[in-house]
Amino acid sequence: MVSLFGPIEQIFPKTREYLTPQAWERVVSRVEHMNNLESLAESPDVFTPEGPPFLKDLARLEWAVHQTQMQAANSVLKPDDWIVNPALQLLTVSFSGLPRLLFEPEQKTTPQAGEELVLIWRKPRGGEISMRAARDEDLLALKMILEEVSPEAAAAAGGVQVGTVEGTLRQAAAEGILIAPRTRIRREPAVVSGSAVSDPAFLEADFFTLQWHLTQACDLHCKHCYDRSSRSPLTLDQGRRILADLQRFCREKRVQGQISFSGGNPLLYPHFDELYRAAAEAGFSLAILGNPTSREKLKTIRAIREPEFFQVSLEGLQVHNDAIRGSGHFERILEFLPLLNEQGIYSMVMLTLTRDNLQEVLPLAELLRDKTDAFFFNRLAQVGEGANLKGPGREEYAAFLEAYLEAAAANPILGLKDNLTNILHYRKGQPLFGGCTGYGCGAAFNFLTLLPDGEVHACRKLPSLIGNVLENSLTDIYDSEAAGRYRGGTAACRGCPIRPVCGGCLAVVYGAGLDIFRERDPYCFL
């Protein structure tokens, strides 16, 4: 039978499986008499006593799926505030396990008598239909939005950390049950006018990273160190207040916060474990940019919260690396990487690219192929002690990038970070990537640096002071005129078609003695 709603057997395929052909014909006949498919799904006597007792609820769920499929795709992808997905339906059924019958038929489950609340929804992105039994955290997320309960109030009522509650909201949004508000960290339209970049994913940042240099103390003295100045570290109480300020900032800007703990060596900060725990409880994604440590220390960190990644550095093969970072450093890194793997912690190796190690990058990547999860490089910024080193020439660097991309196709650990790589992608008509921070130069855009004494800089690799968290809030600092200048980048890139995923490197421009607000990256070959 075909109706305005389509063939009945396509609407109730699973229900039909539980009926004999004769019983199904009687159902179709009743529908013709009622001329109302919704009555078919709601009438208690349509499927019984000819089918199993759970068949009425199964038909109701299939009808709900059909209704959801017939709805127009949700156009409210980025509201101004948290909302419940308009395509969400909640149905109370008298048997558990019904969603698995429909969406996991290979499981061969038998529904059991017992009330269950089922969620049916269309995901905002992609339009996929989902269905499952509601979990406690789903109901908490829905209650918070529908009743306008703050994360603090929900956390107090449940006796949990605010970060746990905010994580519940983010998870519900990731699944499409809720729709998160549109981020307020966005590129200005004038910056992207006429750009070849059309993917909104490159123009609006959902994540914000605070690179927090906890201490200047370091067990190394690298020859390209950007800053060996003496700065007193913040107290633990000051650190906790900064975490609260960062929470407020992320809510105001509608972004998920990420903290990359760095230094010096962040593990030498006397209150590292306590601050790391507080940051985890606040719900931030966490990463560590440091030096090798012990298995016991990694276990302690992992017991608090597994970091998103642990980044260490190598500057080339053993002889060159140890000349830059100190004797024995290369072997310590090679001994440390297996510890990270043993603890299930994602490992990253970073290299600072100079004229002297240019030819060692790809051989090093081959050596590390099975030893680390990812390998990246940054170009040298001739800042601080790095002013004593030299970078490659522009043509030499362009040729290196070509070789790097070719090697990356065969070596899975080779990652892309330098913004200028997008020049090659653009020339070849290949998809662009996010560049340094996912949005080209992220200085004062989706990224800020916090130094041990409270100074906030747009980028760690060059002097770019825009405020101090001991004097102003992160929101005030981010919204300041000084931050806006760094966020805008150089005027020389304003008309570039790949500006949103590039912008060069301000630190390299600064290290070359150029005006970072007027002149372009000296390595740019577009």
Name every residue whose Cβ is closer than 8 Å to that of residue 160 and which is 6 or more positions away in sequence: none
pLDDT (tens digit, 9 = 90+) per residue, 323-361?
A: 999 999 999 999 999 999 999 999 999 999 999 999 999
pLDDT (tens digit, 9 = 90+) per residue, 259-270?
A: 999 999 999 999
pLDDT (tens digit, 9 = 90+) per residue, 270-301?
A: 999 999 999 999 999 999 999 999 999 999 99
Name every residue whose Cβ is closer than 8 Å to that of residue 261 and which is 6 or more positions away in sequence: 212, 214, 272, 276, 286, 287, 288, 289, 290
pLDDT (tens digit, 9 = 90+) per residue, 22-71?
A: 888 877 777 666 555 555 555 545 555 567 889 889 988 998 998 888 87
Q: Quote the percentage of the chain above a pLDDT of 70.
A: 92
Cα–chain center distance at 67: 33
Could you give the angle at the alpha carbon of 279 between the alpha carbons of 153 and 434, nearest 5°? 110
Between the alpha carbon of residue 14 and those of residues 57, 103, 309, 407, 506, the distances in Å are 12, 10, 45, 50, 60
Do 197 and 203 meet the contact criterion of CB atoms below 8 Å apart? yes
Distance CA 130, CA 117 (A): 14
Q: Which two tokens stand for residue 504?
A: 């060069």
pLDDT value of position 106: 77
Kindly report the pTM of this predicted structure.
Answer: 0.88
Say which amino acid occupies 412.
P
Residues linked to residue 130 through DSSP beta bridges, in sequence order: 121
Cα–chain center distance at 100: 30
